[in-house]
Amino acid sequence: MQVYADNAATTKISDHALRAMMPCFEKFYGNPSSLHSVGQEAKEVLEEARAKVAACLGCEAREIYFTSGGSEADNQAIRSAAFYGARKGKKHIISTAFEHHAVLHTLNALEKEGFEVTLLDVKEGHNITAQQVKDAIREDTCLVTCMYANNEIGSVLPVAEIGAVCKEKNVPFHTDAVQAVGHLHIDVKKQNIDMLSLSGHKFHGPKGVGALYVRRGLPLVNIIEGGAQERGKRGGTENLPGIVGMAAAMEDACVNMDKNNAKVVALRDKLIAGLEKIPHCALNGDRENRLPGNVSFCFEGIEGESLLLLLDAQGIAASSGSACTSGSLDPSHVLLAIGRVHDVAHGSLRLSICHENTEEEIDHILTTVPQVVELLRNMSPVWRDLQTGKREYIL
């Protein structure tokens, strides 16, 4: 049995999105900037897609800028707030310790350019509170950037409360909502979100395309200089097939969200309940405020990498830590940020499911993971030391 349980890394494109894209290759191949009718037809298709994306977020079409993905949107949002903040002498940014690297590495670069960054602690409840944000805001704060939902451990942040605090203090609020869009109900106006990043391939759209929502009136700097596309804020001929596929996937995900989530949450909770029976393990992330499809565990006395390889041999595609850090030997910064020590963080497993996963697949995971964990523990010198009492259990 083949089970794809790595939907937080990327999703399979839906038939609906794929079908929506085909006419962009076959019929609407014009350049939306061209003045002839072939170009203007493509332009119409582009603007229809923009309206769809805006409708799903509760904003105006002109507040949507298409990008090459979530990473570019994060870079542009943060760089923009930093640039315009610095002009007013404000060079302090607030974020969290468990952001995606697209955010954290942009903040690292800004620190080298003289900005000061406060990363909020996420050990308590594997989440942050709006009060933490409120306490961290200073006179010179030019941006609060907190993710909507964490890609590794699934915690969903109190975004509306953070938005209210930022509005009250008059500080721009950006959220990396790449894991939330298409999975959670979002209304940028009600939630007081000033900027929001999203990415097509995390909700069954195509890869290499995303969007940045920016509240009307907030200024942007360009990451990609070029032509006048995207109201002069993002140069380069628009990726029309990608944009149209993303908009179709987003509309589909938003229309079917409640139905899909009812199924996904039931499967998720079955997985969590089953895996929690394994001795010396711990659930990562916020138990209550959690992404519908996220299951994340640490198992003491094993290596996450070996676990993944053995699961793959049983047909299960999963992840440990984030796909972006795999290949390096450092444990995930997210697991370290929630307080998992190195040894424990190394034994992590993330299963991220979607509405296409079946009960049979979940049962396959639930019989396979305990077997594989036991197999690895029986080969592990660390596990032997734990069992003989030479080492103390942490979990």
Ligand X SMILES: *Cc1c(COP(=O)(O)O)cnc(C)c1O
Active site residues: 324
Three-state secondary structure of 64-104: EEEECCHHHHHHHHHHHHHHHHHHCCCCEEEEECCCCHHHH
242 binds ligand X (CB under 6 A): no
Q: Residue 46 and residue 295: Cα distance in Å, rounded?
A: 36
Q: Residue 102 and residue 73: Cα distance in Å, rounded?
A: 9
What's the min distance (Å) between Cβ of 343 and ligand X? 26
Residue of 144, 122, 140 whose CA lies nearest to 78: 144
Query: Is the CB of 102 or the CB of 137 nearer to ligand X?
Result: 102
How many residues in the shown chain lie near ligand X by CB under 6 A?
14
Query: Is the CB of 210 or the CB of 347 nearer to ligand X?
Result: 210
51, 65 in Cβ contact below 8 A? no
What's the min distance (Å) between Cβ of 139 and ligand X? 30
Q: Residue 50 and residue 202: Cα distance in Å, rounded?
A: 18
What's the min distance (Å) between Cβ of 78 and ligand X? 12
Query: Is the CB of 101 or the CB of 384 nearer to ligand X?
Result: 101
213, 183 in Cβ contact below 8 A? no
When binding is defined by CB under 6 A, the residue of 147, 240, 244, 337 that contacts ligand X is 147
Which single residue is written with the structure tokens 């370290």?
336
For 147, list phi and psi in degrees, rounded to 5. -65, 155
When binding is defined by CB under 6 A, the residue of 75, 175, 199, 294 that contacts ligand X is 199
Q: Residue 214 and residue 223: Cα distance in Å, rounded?
A: 15
Q: Please report, as residue ranges, which positions from 60 to 119 form the binding site for ligand X (by CB under 6 A).
A: 69-71, 74, 100, 102
When binding is defined by CB under 6 A, the residue of 151, 239, 320, 380 that contacts ligand X is 151
What's the min distance (Å) between Cβ of 151 and ligand X? 4
Query: Is the CB of 282 or the CB of 323 nearer to ligand X?
Result: 323
Which residues form the interface with ligand X (CB under 6 A)? 69-71, 74, 100, 102, 147, 151, 176, 178-179, 199, 202, 210
